[in-house]
Amino acid sequence: MNIEQAKDYIKDSVKMYLKKDEFGDYRIPVIRQRPIFLLGAPGIGKTAIMEQIASELGIALVSYSMSHHTRQSALGLPFIKHKNYEGMEYDVSEYTMSEIIASIYEIMDESDIKEGILFLDEINCVSETLAPSMLQFLQYKTFGGHKIPEGWVIVTAGNPPEYNRSVREFDVVTLDRLKVINVEADYSTWKKYALEKRIHGAILSFLDINRDYFYYMETTAKGRMYITARGWEDLSEIIYLYEEDNIKIGEELVEQYIRNDTVVKEFAAFYDLYNKYKKDYMINELLDGSVSEELVAKAKEAPVDEKISLMGMLLETVLSDIKAVIDYSDFLSELMPVLKTIRNSDSGLDYVTEIKNKRIDAYKKRLKANSLDDDTKIKERRMIEFLKKSCETLSSKCTSSVNSNKNGSSFDNGEIFNALKEKYEKEVLNMKNLASKTSLRLHNLFDFTDKAFSRDNEMLILVTELTAGRYSSRYISMFGSEDYNKYYSKLMLSERQSVIDKEIENVVFDSTL
């Protein structure tokens, strides 16, 4: 399965393991909660999906790479303890608590989140001294003499032997205690993630043209040549930073992330060409509606790779705008119930301050629990910033009110709510203006695609990407798009007609037998 399917399967498994009966006991006993073993090539996003699952389920996450652990660090150190059995004194070997289990308890204490995922990466690369203890751990959730707390699900991951010389293949006895998921590198699935994470448009356009370069592994006379999804994502991050400071991007940078000489040279050359296209087509001006007949003619006559790059640049820009609107909307949706509780309170500024402090505390705890994805972080930071500024404004108004009022009465609760409501309405207006601008750019994108490309290929790419995208699909459902509805219906009818034509061809062919 691909990494997206693996994420859904793991998320469902964790939810089932954490189900409780009417007495608060876990429906599946700990001994029957088979650890999940995610087996796949390096750099395909195994760690990333664990962070997403923890965030979506609101549980904690503790991650460890087992290849770095010795028997002592994983199991704890042995020590002698004096015990009395039936009147006789004995010296008994016990173990200090494992560093791994101690980390779980620390996160539980710091975050107040009592359930979570213990993610152990490279579990099939453990040291020779630790290997015999892994079977006991996988079956009984025990390191040394200490058990993993109830409510913690074990998910493990590893690479197949062809990718790592240190891999130890599990025997049947061990495998029979695991839920094994084989994950394959799949560009189409990764691209959905890449669009959401704003992976650089040059990388996505390059991979759209050269899909075989998405993931590659080979041993040559020069050594191991490899390309991974992690490499492309890390390269994207550094490209954005280099562009901010106008630093030239060449092969010397690319080869630090992409370990294949041919692909390094091709991508470095493509990156320069991509920037030329960006300048030639004036992407922002085009999306704002400034489209000349010469520009349309140039796009019509462009070679295939140039058209793909152009569509990639346009989509990258519009999808970035769309995500900004969705993030803003999510923040406002989260803020509304908070304002309602303030309206119904009689505690005034003190209550607003209390809400702010609780929000900050909860945010810090979830950060410690590793249970915040990027979108939630953005939303929470906006909430905290809004509440901080609101407290400062209200405090200032309360002080002014007391100073100007002969009776010394402070800013009343109704005035406090109205002040917050006014700030909220300004935020709503800003969001609506941003959405209006984004909808206009989306319309201009459809209009240009229709004028510049007589074939349906480019329009199909546009509609497909908007349909598949998590943020774009939400945006269209929230704000609508006549262009999207028009071309979606047209392309779906065309696709259906193609299916019918093929069926007719098959019938004609069969009749000649």
More confident of the two residues 140 and 2: 2
The stretches of 282-373 forming alpha helices (DSSP H) are: 283-287, 293-301, 304-343, 349-368
Percent of the chain with pLDDT strictly greater than 70: 84
**How far is residue 225's CA from residue 220's CA, in Å, rounded to a whole number?**
7
Residue 142: strand, helix, or coil:
strand
Percent of the chain with pLDDT strictly greater than 90: 23
CATH: 1.10.1040.10, 3.40.50.300, 1.10.101.10, 3.40.50.20. Which one for 3-73+101-184? Answer: 3.40.50.300
**How far is residue 90's CA from residue 196's CA, in Å, rounded to a whole number?**
61
pLDDT over 60 (residue 506): no
Half-sphere exposure for 304 (CA within 13 Å, toward CB): 4
Q: What share of the chain is helix, strand, coil (3-state, %, to 5)?
A: 65, 10, 25
Those residues whose C-beta lies under 8 Å from the C-beta of residue 464, and which sit 6 or more positions away, are none
DSSP E strand boundaries for 132-222 = 142-143, 146-147, 152-158, 179-183, 216-220
Q: Where is average pLDDT lowest: 10-14, 343-347, 354-358, 378-382?
A: 343-347
Q: What is the pLDDT of residue 377?
A: 87
Single pTM value for the model: 0.74
**CB of 177 closer than 8 Å to CB of 138:** yes
Predicted confidence (pLDDT) per residue in 73-132, tens digit: 666 666 687 888 878 887 776 666 677 888 889 889 888 889 999 898 887 777 666 766
Domain boundaries, the chain: 3-73+101-184, 186-281, 323-423
Band of the pLDDT at 503, cuts 50, 70, 90? very low
Task: For residue 464, give Cα distances in angstroms to 278, 340, 479, 497.
Answer: 23, 39, 18, 18
pLDDT over 50 (residue 407): no
